[in-house]
Amino acid sequence: MATIRLGDEAPNFTTETTEGTVNFHEWMGDKWAVLFSHPKDFTPVCTTELGTVAKLKPEFDKRNVKVIAVSVDDVKSHQSWIKDINETQNTTVNFPLIGDESKKVATLYDMIHPNASDSMTVRSVFIVGPDKKVKLTLTYPASTGRDFSEILRAIDSLQLTSKYSVATPANWKDGDDCIVLNSVPDDDIPKRFPKGAMKVKPYLRITPQPNK
Ligand code: BEZ
Model pLDDT, residue 202: 97
Entry pTM? 0.97
Measured in Å, residue 38 CA sits from the centre of ligand 1 at 8
Is the distance from CB of 2 to CB of 134 less than 8 angstroms? no
pLDDT of 149 > 80? The answer is yes
Give, using CA atoms, the residue closest to atom 1 of ligand 1: 45
Model pLDDT, residue 2: 73
CB atoms within 10 A of CB 155: 21
Q: pLDDT tens for residues 31-89? A: 999 999 999 999 999 999 999 999 999 999 999 999 999 999 999 999 999 999 999 99
pLDDT of 152 > 70? The answer is yes
Measured in Å, residue 129 CA sits from the centre of ligand 1 at 29
Which residues does ligand 1 sit against, CB inside 6 Å? 39-40, 43-46, 142-143
Question: What single string gives the DSSP state of each residue in 152-163?
Answer: HHHHHHHHHHTT
Residue 140 β-bridge partners: 123
Question: What single string gives the DSSP state of each residue in 100-123?
Answer: -TT-HHHHHTT---TTT-SSS--E
Measured in Å, residue 85 CA sits from the centre of ligand 1 at 14
Q: How many Cα atoms sit within 13 Å of 189 on the Cβ side?
A: 18
Is the distance from CB of 191 to CB of 173 less than 8 angstroms? no
Counting from 1 in the atom list of ligand 1, the atom nearest the Cα of 44 is 3
Is the distance from CB of 124 to CB of 138 less than 8 angstroms? yes
Is 46 assigned a catalytic role? Answer: yes
Model pLDDT, residue 1: 59
pLDDT of 203 > 90? The answer is yes
- The burial of 6, by beta-carbon neighbours within 10 Å (0-12 exposed, 13-18 middle, 19 or more buried), is given as exposed
Mutating to test ligand 1, I would choose from 40, 53, 97 the residue with most ligand atoms within 8 A of its C-beta, which is 40
Measured in Å, residue 158 CA sits from the centre of ligand 1 at 29
Task: Classify residue 95 by its DSSP letter.
Answer: S
Question: For the residues 192-211, what does the mean pLDDT come to?
Answer: 97
Is the distance from CB of 85 to CB of 54 less than 8 angstroms? yes
**β strands within 39-165, DSSP E:** 65-71, 97-99, 123-128, 134-140
Burial code (b: 16+ CB inside 10 Å, e: under 16) for 51-61 equals bbbbebbeebe
Which is catalytic among the residues 4, 10, 34, 46?
A: 46
Residue 22 β-bridge partners: 15
Model pLDDT, residue 25: 98
